[in-house]
Structure 1
Amino acid sequence: MQPFDFQLRPRIVFGAGVIEQLGTLAVELGARTVLVVSDPGVVKAGHFGTGLQSLEAAGLVVHSFHEFTENPTTAFIDAGVEVARRVKPDLIVGLGGGSSMDCAKGINFVYSCGGEIKDYWGVGKATADMLPMIAVPTTAGTGSEAQSFALISDAETHVKMACGDPRAACAVALLDPALTLTQPYAVTALTGIDALSHALETHVTTRRNAVSSTFSRQAFRMIAGNLARVLEVGDDLEARGEMQFGACLAGIAIETSMLGAAHATANPLTARFGITHGQAVGLMLPHVVLFNGRDYPELYAELLAEIDPGESQHDAPQQIAQRVTELVGKAGLKTKLSELEIPRDALPQLAEDATQQWTGTFNPIPVNAENLLSIYQAAY
């Protein structure tokens, strides 16, 4: 059995309407002044207002930071840190999608430890204890609420930096599936595909272990079994809850197992061509499954058994890849790089970029520029 070192760090509070407990939970953590980090879309949807009401009803002084967009950059972190230094919070709330939660963690790194966010690129580089955090996801996607990593893009180079430290883990993950009902269809699709990729990739990495695989398999069952439903019937609260909790479980799996070549090949598409992460990873994922499935078919057979135990397992990688492709198509996303108008002559550079991605180092089959290029070519 693969060795592991596991600790479930966030307290998980789940249920429709639990956002009303936000103020009480903040007080339990000793908060008096709170900085809430929420993107403008979350404010427009009314979720920031709901959280604000709960916090103020608990007698807390609340400040906010909204000046950032999807894929938070170093510039946004700098701006958020300036706000934090002015208001001096003793607790940070990340309320929104992965961008809001990652931005909140990034602000916490720099505000608590000094320097700049680039100083924390990597693992275990925090220099001091950090402020307690509460994560309130409004999407079912990144699982950031259950991770000690913040994914921040360099504002100049667009390189995505994974900044992780156990002290960056949230104290509480507040999962209210009712908050996900307001997601536009495109957000439901993109974040749902991202969550699916997390469940799949964490199950096959070189760091997979008994704990991570337990979470990966359950996450895959919940996400693969409900993604089509939430795309068809957006107000199905039960399915929304399955998706949100499944995404959280996949996030927990990432903590010890990390990710693989699907993310390594997706990130350069975002950096060079601005392709949304969910679209990029969803397009690349089936081809990575087929690539890894040549040597590790049994791992994909275990996942297939979670959603269809009566199905023959002999061609599990092909079946998983086909099902992912169908879900990506059902989500209204492209399934070929040519459909995104990526120039074919850009593929070698994309493959070279992918070799620099940290997640690729955990892929079960070692990757290099040559075999990564073959994956891009298969996806074209």
Structure 2
Amino acid sequence: MTNPLSHTMQPFDITGRMRVVFGEGSIRRVGELAAELGARSVMIVSDPGLIEAGHFDVAKESLQQQGIRVESFHDFSDNPTSDMVDAGVRRAAEVKPDLLVGLGGGSSMDCCKGINFVYCCGGTIHDYRGVGKATTELLPMIAIPTTSGTGSEAQSFALISDAKTHEKMPCGDPRAACKIAILDPNLTLTQPTGVTSLTGIDAISHAIETYVTRRRNPMSVTYSKRAFELLSSGFSKVLLEPQNLAARTQMQLGAHFAGMAIERSMLGAAHAVANPLTARFNIIHGQAVGMMLPAVIRMNAPVVGSLYAELLQASGITASPENAADRLACRVTDWLIEAGMATKLSDLSIPTETFDRLTGDALTQWTGTFNPVPLRHDNVLGLYQSSL
């Protein structure tokens, strides 16, 4: 089994842009940290569920105690769209904030970044699809994740769906990186079971995909491996014991480290083939990517089998380069079953006659260009067929 990537890593040139504040109860420091950034007017972008959970009020009170004016925007959903970003920009025009706070899951943080792009630079979010499209400095942003999944707080990208086509648009720029990320594991205790499952599988997929991309480098693989170690240890525990704070902490830090790895090495084919399932059939992202990941792992095996063996070793499982991919793929499937999630496309009634169209969509996805095995029509179609 050949493995040309196992001893070859890409050069890197990375500038640290973000302060990370971790610890139980650290959300109560948001006012202090905002004041250090000179904030006088803040707009919090958070989904309505965070109000019910009480997290929004805690953040608001902390900010107000520093004499900071606080307004908010809540009108967006799990997959923020270009229309929702536009609504947020209109709200920002009323508030005139000098700092943004993204509080919630990946949707809150991505929507906050999308608003930041358009509010500061004008146009629509479509103008910032790709990398480096910002035309001026953006507002400073503090990210406070309440789920353990996307790692968006660690990334300079926003993932926004086109309101009409539902296509996911990655919009990235170094100036969109958060100034501060607050990681408070207490916030993740309020996640519903379904959210814990979906975000956890998403984080696991990030750790696995970033470890084998064409852009892997000494820094990214350090984050990927540590992320996988933490996530593989914590995932089953949080499913069985939702109030286990130690396991929640493992998941939160694992998701964050996986986000750091994405920022430095990007993703791969599992995300490329999952995104069209979300766009065309409204399959939740964590479900889509988790379901497609085993097939991608097996496809990549001839090239990166020894790298998968390294990942398994980090979680205490010994495997050879020849059987590591199958063992890892089976482990992912086991996690899906534990979480009560679908393991096959047929479980979700995805018609086989759509596979050609899904394949065409997948081949346009930017993440696929970083996969260790180049994507073609035949092998992408094969991924959908083998996941049936």
User: Which bracket does the TM-score occupy, shorter chain normalised?
Assistant: over 0.9
Name the counterpart of 2:377.
369
1:294 Cα offset (Å): 2.2
The answer for unaligned runs of 5 or more in structure 2 is 1-8
Conserved 8 A contact 2:185-2:252 = yes
1:4 partner SS: coil
Contact 1:110 1:116 in 2 (8 A): yes
Letter in 2 for 1:155: A
Pair 1:364–1:312, CA change in 2 (3 A): closer
Contact 1:207 1:257 in 2 (8 A): yes
TM-score by length of 1: 0.99
Structure 1 residues 308-319: aligned runs within 5 Å: 308-312=316-320, 314-319=322-327
The partner residue of 1:75 within 83, 95, 100 is: 83
| CA deviation vs aligned residue, 1:131-162 (integer Å, no higher than 9, x gap) | 00000000000000000000000000101000
**Does the aligned pair in 2 maintain the 1:5–1:256 contact within 8 Å?**
no
- Could you say which residue in structure 1 is the equivalent of 2:276? 268
Return the match for 1:337 from 345, 359, 363: 345
Residue 267 of structure 2 is matched in structure 1 by 259
Q: Secondary structure at the match of 1:107?
A: helix
Match of residue 27, structure 1, among 22, 35, 39: 35
Q: Measure, in 2, the Cα distance between the counterparts of 1:309 and 1:197.
A: 18
Q: Does the residue aligned with 1:296 lie in a helix, a strand or coil?
A: helix
User: d(CA) in 2 for partners of 1:260 and 1:310?
Assistant: 24
The residue that corresponds to 1:208 in the other structure is 216
One-letter amino acid of the structure 1 residue matched with residue 225 of structure 2: R
Pairwise CA distance, 1:249 = 0.5
Letter in 2 for 1:60: I
Residue by residue over 1:5-24, the C-alpha shift from the partner in whole angstroms, topping out at 9 and shown as x without a partner, is: 22232111111100010100
Whether 2:325 is the aligned partner of 1:297: answer no
In the alignment, is the contact (CA less than 8 A) between 2:45 and 2:108 conserved in 1?
yes
Separation in 2, partners of 1:152, 1:301: 34
* Structure 2 Cα separation of the partners of residues 217 and 153 of structure 1: 30
Helix, strand or coil: the match of 2:212?
coil
Please give the residue correspondences for 1:153-172 in structure 2 after superposition, counting only pairs within 5 Å.
153-172=161-180
Give, as a single letter, the amino acid of the residue that structure 2 aligns with 1:91. L
Per the TM alignment, residue 262 of structure 1 is displaced from its structure 2 partner at its CA by 0.1
Say which of 115, 120, 124 aligns to 2:123.
Answer: 115
Structure 1 match to 2:6: none
Amino acid at match of 2:101: V
Q: Which amino acid counterpart does residue 349 of structure 1 have in structure 2?
A: R
- Counterpart CA distance in 2 for 1:221 and 1:8 is 23
Aligned to 1:249: 257
Q: Name which of structure 1's ranges 267-276 and 52-61 shifts more when overlaid on structure 2.
A: 52-61
Selected match of 2:333 from 325, 331, 337: 325
Residue 17 of structure 1 corresponds to 25
Cα distance between partner residues in 1 of 2:36 and 2:121? 24
CA distance in structure 2 between the partners assigned to 1:180 and 1:21 by the alignment: 17
Q: Which residue of 2 aligns with 1:228?
A: 236
Q: Give the counterpart of 1:186 among 188, 191, 194.
A: 194
Bigger drift between 310-319 and 325-334 goes to 310-319
1:200-219 Cα offsets, whole Å, 9 max, x none, are 00001111111100000000
Instruction: Give the CA deviation at 1:189.
Output: 0.2
Contact 2:309 2:319 in 1 (8 A): no
- Counterpart code for 2:170: A
Shift of 1:171: 0.3
Q: What is the CA distance between 1:100 and its match in structure 2?
A: 0.2
Q: Work out the CA distance in 1 between the residues paired with 2:328 and 2:13.
A: 29
| Pair 1:277-2:277 in alignment | no
Counterpart residue type for residue 314 of structure 2: E
Q: Aligned letter for 1:237?
A: L
Please give the secondary structure, in 2, of the residue aligned with 1:68.
coil
* 1:137 paired residue number: 145
Q: 2:48 aligns with which of 9, 22, 40?
A: 40
For residues 348-359 of structure 1, the aligned pairs below 5 Å read 348-359=356-367
Q: Which amino acid aligns with 1:79?
A: A
The amino acid of 1:204's aligned partner reads: V
Q: Secondary structure at the match of 1:295?
A: helix
Contact 2:309-2:318 within 8 A present in 1 as well: no
Would the aligned equivalents of 1:304 and 1:313 in 2 still touch at CA under 8 Å? Answer: no
Contact persistence 2:129–2:170 (CA under 8 A): yes
The separation in 1 between residues aligned to 2:354 and 2:302, in whole angstroms, is 26
Amino acid at match of 2:330: Q
Between the two proteins, the alignment pairs up a number of residues equal to: 380
Q: What is the aligned-residue identity percentage?
A: 60
Q: Where does residue 112 of structure 2 map in the other structure?
A: 104
**Matches of 2:285 and 2:128, distance apart in 1:** 22
Counterpart AA for 1:162: P
| SS in structure 1 at match of 2:342 | coil
Q: Is the 8 A contact 1:123 1:165 kept in 2?
A: yes
